[in-house]
């Protein structure tokens, strides 16, 4: 079969591309996704996000290599494996990033990615509950809503942030980012607003879009240095599909570099070691891996306002029934809606840490229920300097790649994380939280010295689930794609997903990924 465009991966970026490229009936598009449909209650119910995160039918469930600066722990790296990708199992927090993040991208030689140039795409994505203004959109496909979660702990937490001297920001996606408040969410009418629901579903009825789920793309086919098609395993049969105009790789920050390398694009020496024929020597493929590393500051709660209540059978069942009947109640929220951005110390130039407040304890990515009422602050430096990589274990496309983040390799990342703990402790000790606040559970009030905090961080810090950067956009010798997201040295092949991010923004990555896909759609349609 032949299409004008082939999109590999039906995650957040792939769904946007599929919609935009088929708006004109002149274009035929084939969309290929290894996973299944995400049209099920476990995806739709906001509070059920852990069900798919830990289900191998809907998640790749990757693990890193032993991380040398985290006491050789292997860290969990979940990635969506279903239509909608990570938008179908993320925490539904919608944060664009700081204006200065994109100004830095511009200063890397990417002039069309300045804040001024990308703001229209952020606005294009959304219908924002706060209404349109200079910074926000009202005509987009995706509903983005200011959280109205009325859990009393959120009000107390924001009061405590104010007590500690932080400004309260009514819109962290607006004129400025710094401050604390309620995050925007992709929750609408009590259900997850996934990109598959709001971008892909409206396009499904178009005759020029063909969607192939449960289809594993094993390899990109080249004619010399021109990408012309793909080899796909569908029901244990290898089939070939060809693209007349372009192939677009949107498989995510782990799978996109993996498929490039399996197809012969990457570091020549690494590919030869794995017995792969080299199509093009591109040193940066799989390099520049970045993520936000979170440390939890946990405190007992003296009031019964936490999610611990819903670990008990009867409250859990009643909350589930309420959601199924009316899409309301505890299950209609993600409870990750409060947080903010601030400086970890006065000498920092811009807000360099992000906090998420969560009204429960998170133990082993939610696999273990807490044993008491409690709440925690997730603290993560926004711009880690440490860099990791994705490499191949073998030439077999079904072997998982080797993922090494090198978290905390840079000493300043560790210093910033320690500073996060001090800022968090100051907030959690304020009068507004006094009636709720019990003792500090972690790190524990006895852990005060740098060495003690370093050990707590190395033993307990976890991913914020924001891997990016492995096919980075740029003008330097380690760049994989150019400013227009075209793979360097190759014809008819682009990468459009979080892997092209040159430097991680101050954000949860879903919103930036959608912005990249909206901009890419225009580049592709205009053949730029």
CA 274 vs. chain centroid, Å, equals 30
Residues 6+ positions from 188 with CB-CB distance below 8 Å? 143, 145
Distances in whole angstroms, Cα of residue 489 to Cα of each of 8, 266, 284, 473, 477: 20, 11, 13, 14, 12
Residue 179: left (phi > 0), alpha (psi -120 to 50), or beta?
Answer: left
* Main-chain dihedrals φ then ψ at residue 370, nearest 5 degrees: -65, 160
Local structure of 165: helix, strand or coil: coil
Residue matched to tokens 């279903």: 82
301 contacts 294 by C-beta, under 8 angstroms: no
The residues with which 391 forms a beta bridge, in sequence order, are 402
The residues with which 188 forms a beta bridge, in sequence order, are 191
Question: How far is 334 from 510, CA to CA, in rounded Å?
Answer: 15
509 contacts 313 by C-beta, under 8 angstroms: no
User: Taking the CA of residue 389 as centre, how many other CA atoms within 13 Å lie in the half-sphere pointing to its CB?
Assistant: 13
Residues 6+ positions from 468 with CB-CB distance below 8 Å? 253, 289, 290, 291, 498, 499, 501, 504, 509
89, 280, 373, 466: which is the annotated catalytic residue? 466
* Main-chain dihedrals φ then ψ at residue 334, nearest 5 degrees: -100, -20
Question: How far is 425 from 412, CA to CA, in rounded Å?
Answer: 20
Residues 6+ positions from 509 with CB-CB distance below 8 Å? 466, 468, 498, 501
CA 487 vs. chain centroid, Å, equals 22
Local structure of 356: helix, strand or coil: strand
**Which among 119, 123, 164, 126 is positioned nearest to 143, based on CA atoms?**
126
Which two tokens mark 305? Answer: 């306002």
Question: How far is 70 from 407, CA to CA, in rounded Å?
Answer: 7
Catalytic residue at 466? yes
Question: Quick check: bond before 523 cis, omega within 30?
Answer: no
End-to-end CA gap in the chain = 26
Local structure of 405: helix, strand or coil: coil
Instruction: Burial-class residue 455 by CB neighbours within 10 Å (0-12, 13-18, 19+).
Output: middle
CA 13 vs. chain centroid, Å, equals 11
Query: What positions carry a catalytic annotation?
Result: 466
């Amino acid at each position: 079969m032949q299409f004008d465009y082939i999109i590999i991966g039906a995650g957040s970026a792939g769904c946007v591309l599929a919609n935009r490229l088929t708006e004109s009936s002149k274009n035929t598009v084939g969309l290929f996704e290894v996973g299944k449909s995400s049209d099920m209650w476990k995806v739709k119910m906001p509070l059920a996000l852990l069900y798919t995160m830990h289900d191998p039918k809907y998640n790749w469930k990757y693990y890193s290599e032993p991380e040398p600066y985290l006491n050789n722990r292997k860290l969990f790296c979940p990635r969506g494996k279903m239509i909608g990708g990570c938008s179908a199992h993320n925490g539904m927090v919608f944060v664009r990033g700081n204006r200065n993040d994109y100004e830095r991208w511009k200063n890397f030689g990417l002039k069309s990615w300045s804040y001024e140039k990308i703001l229209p795409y952020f606005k294009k994505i959304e219908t924002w509950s706060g209404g349109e203004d200079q910074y926000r959109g009202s005509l987009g496909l995706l509903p983005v809503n200011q959280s109205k979660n009325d859990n009393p702990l959120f009000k107390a937490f924001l009061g405590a942030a104010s007590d500690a001297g932080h400004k309260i920001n009514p819109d962290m996606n607006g004129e400025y980012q710094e401050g604390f408040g309620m995050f925007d969410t992709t929750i609408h009418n009590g259900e997850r607003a996934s990109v598959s629901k709001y971008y892909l579903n409206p396009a499904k009825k178009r005759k020029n879009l063909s969607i192939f789920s449960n289809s594993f793309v094993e390899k990109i086919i080249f004619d010399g240095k021109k990408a012309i098609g793909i080899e796909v395993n569908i029901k244990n049969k290898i089939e070939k599909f060809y693209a007349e105009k372009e192939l677009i790789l949107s498989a995510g920050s782990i799978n996109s570099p993996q498929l490039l390398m399996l197809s012969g694009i990457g570091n020549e020496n690494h590919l030869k070691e794995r017995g792969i024929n080299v199509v093009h020597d591109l040193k940066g493929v799989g390099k520049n891996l970045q993520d936000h590393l979170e440390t939890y500051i946990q405190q007992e709660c003296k009031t019964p306002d936490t999610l611990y209540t819903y670990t008990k059978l009867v409250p859990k069942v009643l909350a589930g029934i309420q959601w199924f009947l009316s899409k309301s109640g505890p299950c209609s929220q993600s409870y990750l809606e409060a947080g903010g951005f601030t400086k970890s110390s006065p000498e920092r130039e811009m807000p360099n840490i992000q906090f998420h407040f969560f009204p429960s304890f998170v133990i082993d990515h939610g696999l273990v229920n807490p044993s008491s009422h409690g709440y925690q602050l997730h603290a993560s430096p926004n711009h880690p300097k440490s860099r990791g990589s994705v490499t191949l274990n073998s030439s077999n496309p079904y072997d998982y790649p080797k993922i090494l983040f090198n978290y905390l390799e840079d000493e300043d990342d560790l210093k910033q994380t320690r500073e996060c703990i001090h800022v968090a402790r100051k907030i959690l000790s304020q009068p507004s939280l006094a009636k709720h606040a019990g003792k500090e559970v972690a790190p524990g009030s006895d852990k005060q010295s740098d060495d003690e905090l370093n050990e707590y961080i190395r033993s307990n810090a976890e991913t914020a689930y924001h891997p990016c950067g492995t096919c980075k956009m740029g003008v330097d010798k380690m760049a994989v794609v150019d400013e227009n997201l075209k793979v360097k040295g190759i014809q008819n092949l682009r990468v459009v997903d979080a892997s092209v991010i040159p430097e991680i923004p101050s954000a949860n990555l879903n919103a930036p990924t959608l912005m990249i896909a909206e901009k890419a759609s225009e580049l592709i349609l205009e053949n730029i």
